[in-house]
Amino acid sequence: MAESLYEIRFRENVEKRILCHMQLSSAQVEQLRQAIEELYYFEFVVDDLPIRGFVGYMEESGFLPHSHKIGLWTHLDFHLEFHGDRIMFANVSVRDVKPHSLDGLRPDEFLGLTHTYSVRWSETSVERRSDRRRGDDGGFFPRTLEIHWLSIINSMVLVFLLVGFVAVILMRVLRNDLARYNLDEETTSAGSGDDFDQGDNGWKIIHTDVFRFPPYRGLLCAVLGVGAQFLALGTGIIVMALLGMFNVHRHGAINSAAILLYALTCCISGYVSSHFYRQIGGERWVWNIILTTSLFSVPFFLTWSVVNSVHWANGSTQALPATTILLLLTVWLLVGFPLTVIGGIFGKNNASPFDAPCRTKNIAREIPPQPWYKSTVIHMTVGGFLPFSAISVELYYIFATVWGREQYTLYGILFFVFAILLSVGACISIALTYFQLSGEDYRWWWRSVLSVGSTGLFIFLYSVFYYARRSNMSGAVQTVEFFGYSLLTGYVFFLMLGTISFFSSLKFIRYIYVNLKMD
């Protein structure tokens, strides 16, 4: 290495200075050829200004004779514009440079390369920097902002129509139900002392079973606790991004913040899970805490172990070193797990008896046969697809940012879409729960979690579509990493939306039975 690019002096013009000499084997040249064919690019950051360029050059002719030429850019011309002591504009060019051919290398031959660079300085105005900050990348990335906005507006219109339709129809039907049930109660209360269940139907008849605690209550409470934690985590990340705490050119900042916030918000999962577990009569609160702290950490550790092992086996730089792994384990053991236990203790001690407006009978009522359109699979399909349709456009840009070369900076829109997602999930959950109770099926506890939580399954299916149709990823390393982390992403959305869905349904059910006149 003759000189580092970091040693370039301010306002000092440089003419074709040698950066380094390299010797590449035929296998390394073949990897470089493949990277150029897949349009790999480099990115430098100069005073928080990005400059990008393609690694090499590819020329292909479809006419006879067919030609396929690949070359590597070994010289870069940097153009930097300044105003005062700040760099206002930065660009890199290969306009007058001839690429170094990578064709015709024998298997036992080494390729010698000499990398050089030139730097040219000029003075400009302050406005030039603001142009760069608005995203003028000189055409390197496609301009999709207009399409982005139009798609977001279209999604918002559809979502508002959906929420409005569900709210108006449901409230009108519910008002009629309440008026009819209360009128029937007034006309029959003086006639006989028999239970009003006789001759009645609908959600009123199951008032003695609707608050019957579900099976696997410990697992249910763990799902709600971890879901509440990720709701706080996701909101915190978006708010931090809105406050400008993340630099788009420092790619690990959001990951570091997510790890720290996950450890700090473990107290939320412990509190919510233990608090609700004690409310619904749970006694094994220690086991509940262990289940809560393992519900996400264990799947994450297993997935990460597989992905990291594949990186190690293939010599990828994405593999985390042993010191980083020990540091992350230490953070979880010293911060995450203790905060989960502390939150669980506070939740258990502050729990009050479950507030049910109806008493529950000892013997469960028989559930009548349900039509096919009220089955769990149909509810999961409807409850998962509608929230997914609200975020499908934004999901493409997020995937293109994480797995592609796009840069995401519209955090205000992301916050708005996140709020729409939660609102749609709550409304759909209330509607599906109402239809389920109207069929005299009181098993709404787990159904409410699964119905909207299935959005995570749709997100994973979208990742399969993105991998097959929208990306050029291939090989074991990229495939395992993509599907491993996509599966975790769908799991996180299942926990978050399942939690929102459950508590929305619980609040709705309490509301309708509180306003119902009963003996």
Q: How confident is the model at residue 195 (pLDDT cuts 50, 70, 90)?
A: very low
The answer, yes or no, to whether residue 10 has pLDDT greater than 70, is: no
Cβ 505 vs Cβ 430: under 8 Å: yes
Cβ 390 vs Cβ 421: under 8 Å: yes
Angle between helices 217-242 and 253-264 (to 10 degrees): 140
Q: What pLDDT score was predicted for residue 3?
A: 45
Tens digit of pLDDT for each residue in 224-277?
999 999 999 999 999 998 888 876 656 678 888 899 999 999 999 999 999 999
The reported pTM is 0.76
* DSSP-based helix, strand, coil % in the chain, nearest 5: 60, 15, 30
Average pLDDT of the chain, as a whole number? 82
Residue type, 184: D
Percent residues over pLDDT 70 in the chain: 83
Quote the CA–CA distance of 408 and 397 in Å, as a whole number. 7
Neighbours of 503 (CB within 10 A): 18
Going from N- to C-terminal start, the domains of the chain cover 5-133, 145-158+215-514
Q: How confident is the model at residue 196 (pLDDT cuts 50, 70, 90)?
A: very low
Question: Which letter does DSSP use for residue 364 in this model?
Answer: P
Residue type, 53: G
Q: What pLDDT score was predicted for residue 250?
A: 62
Q: What pLDDT score was predicted for residue 413?
A: 80
Closest CA to 461 of 379, 395, 377, 376: 395
The answer, yes or no, to whether residue 453 has pLDDT greater than 90, is: yes
**Which residues, 6+ apart, have CB-to-CB distance to 256 below 8 Å?**
none
The answer, yes or no, to whether residue 191 has pLDDT greater than 70, is: no
CA 243 to chain CA centroid, nearest Å: 19
Question: What DSSP line would sit under 140-196, residue for residue?
Answer: SS---HHHHHHHHHHHHHHHHHHHHHHHHHHHHHHHHHHHHHHHHHHHHHTT--S-T
The answer, yes or no, to whether residue 498 has pLDDT greater than 90, is: yes
Q: What pLDDT score was predicted for residue 182?
A: 63
Tens digit of pLDDT for each residue in 356-405?
888 888 888 888 888 888 899 999 999 999 889 888 888 888 888 888 76
Tokens found for residue 123: 């003075």
Q: How confident is the model at residue 130 (pLDDT cuts 50, 70, 90)?
A: very low
Mean pLDDT of 32-51: 81
Quote the CA–CA distance of 469 and 181 in Å, as a whole number. 53
Tens digit of pLDDT for each residue in 406-426?
777 778 888 888 988 998 899
